[in-house]
Amino acid sequence: MATQGFHEVVLIPGDGIGPEVSDAVRRIFAAAAAPVHWDEHVAGIAAIEGGLDVLPAATLEAIERHQVALKGPCTTPVGEGFTSVNVQLRKRLNLYAAVRPVRSLPGVSTRFENVDLIILRENTEGLYSGVENQLTNDVVMSMKVATKSACTRISHWAFRFATQRRRKKITVFHKANIMKLTDGLFLRCARSVHQTEYPNIDYQETIIDAGCMKMVQDPSQFDVLLLENLYGDVVSDLCAGLVGGLGVVPGANFGDVAAVFEAVHGSAPDIAGKGIANPLALLMSAVMMLNHLSATRGDERCKVAAERIKTAYDQALADGQKTRDLGGDLGTDAFAQAINDRLPPL
Q: Which lies closer to ligand NAI via its Cβ, residue 95 or residue 304?
A: 95
Does 285 bind ligand NAI (CB under 6 A)? Our answer is: no
Does 232 bind ligand NAI (CB under 6 A)? Our answer is: no
Q: Which lies closer to ligand NAI via its Cβ, residue 70 or residue 176?
A: 70
Q: Identify the H or E element spanning 260.
A: strand 259-262
Does 267 bind ligand NAI (CB under 6 A)? Our answer is: yes
DSSP letters along 155-203, please? HHHHHHHHHHTT--EEEEEE-TTTSTTHHHHHHHHHHHHHHHH-TTSEE
Does 41 bind ligand NAI (CB under 6 A)? Our answer is: no
- 333 contacts 275 by C-beta, under 8 angstroms: yes
- Within positions 54 to 83, which residues make up the interface with ligand NAI, using CB under 6 A? 73-76
Q: How far is the CB of 272 from ligand NAI (least distance, A)?
A: 8
Q: How far is the CB of 335 from ligand NAI (least distance, A)?
A: 10
Does 20 bind ligand NAI (CB under 6 A)? Our answer is: no
- 107 contacts 318 by C-beta, under 8 angstroms: yes
Taking CB under 6 A as the criterion, the residue among 266, 301, 305, 309 binding ligand NAI is: 266
Cα–Cα distance, 126 to 131 (Å, whole number): 10
Does 86 bind ligand NAI (CB under 6 A)? Our answer is: yes
Q: How far is the CB of 186 from ligand NAI (least distance, A)?
A: 22
Residue type, 44: G
Does 125 bind ligand NAI (CB under 6 A)? Our answer is: no
- 278 contacts 325 by C-beta, under 8 angstroms: yes
Taking CB under 6 A as the criterion, the residue among 47, 239, 268, 284 binding ligand NAI is: 268
Does 315 bind ligand NAI (CB under 6 A)? Our answer is: no
Q: Which lies closer to ligand NAI via its Cβ, residue 219 or residue 244?
A: 244
Q: Which lies closer to ligand NAI via its Cβ, residue 189 or residue 283?
A: 283
Q: How far is the CB of 77 from ligand NAI (least distance, A)?
A: 7
DSSP 223: S
From the list 50, 49, 93, the residue with the least C-alpha distance to 71 is 93
Taking CB under 6 A as the criterion, the residue among 48, 145, 212, 271 binding ligand NAI is: 271
Q: Residues 340, 341, 344, 346: what is their CA dihedral angle, to the nearest 10 degrees?
A: 70
Does 321 bind ligand NAI (CB under 6 A)? Our answer is: no
Cα–Cα distance, 186 to 190 (Å, whole number): 6
From the list 252, 265, 261, the residue with the least C-alpha distance to 100 is 252
Does 281 bind ligand NAI (CB under 6 A)? Our answer is: yes
Contact range with ligand NAI by CB under 6 A, out of 155-163, 174-182, 258-266, 311-319 = 258-266
C-alpha distances (whole Å) from 296 to each of 29, 37, 68, 257, 258 are: 19, 17, 11, 11, 11
Cα–Cα distance, 194 to 191 (Å, whole number): 5
Does 262 bind ligand NAI (CB under 6 A)? Our answer is: yes
Q: Identify the H or E element spanning 149.
A: helix 148-164
Does 236 bind ligand NAI (CB under 6 A)? Our answer is: no
Distance of CA 288 to the CA centre of its chain: 10
Binding mask of the shown chain, residues 238 to 257, with x at each position contacting ligand NAI by CB under 6 A: --------xx----------
Cα–Cα distance, 7 to 293 (Å, whole number): 8
Does 89 bind ligand NAI (CB under 6 A)? Our answer is: no
Taking CB under 6 A as the criterion, the residue among 239, 305, 325, 338 binding ligand NAI is: 325
Cα–Cα distance, 65 to 152 (Å, whole number): 28
Q: Which lies closer to ligand NAI via its Cβ, residue 229 or residue 267?
A: 267
DSSP 335: H
DSSP 80: S
- Interacting residues with ligand NAI (CB under 6 A): 17, 21, 73-76, 86, 246-247, 262, 265-271, 277-278, 281, 325
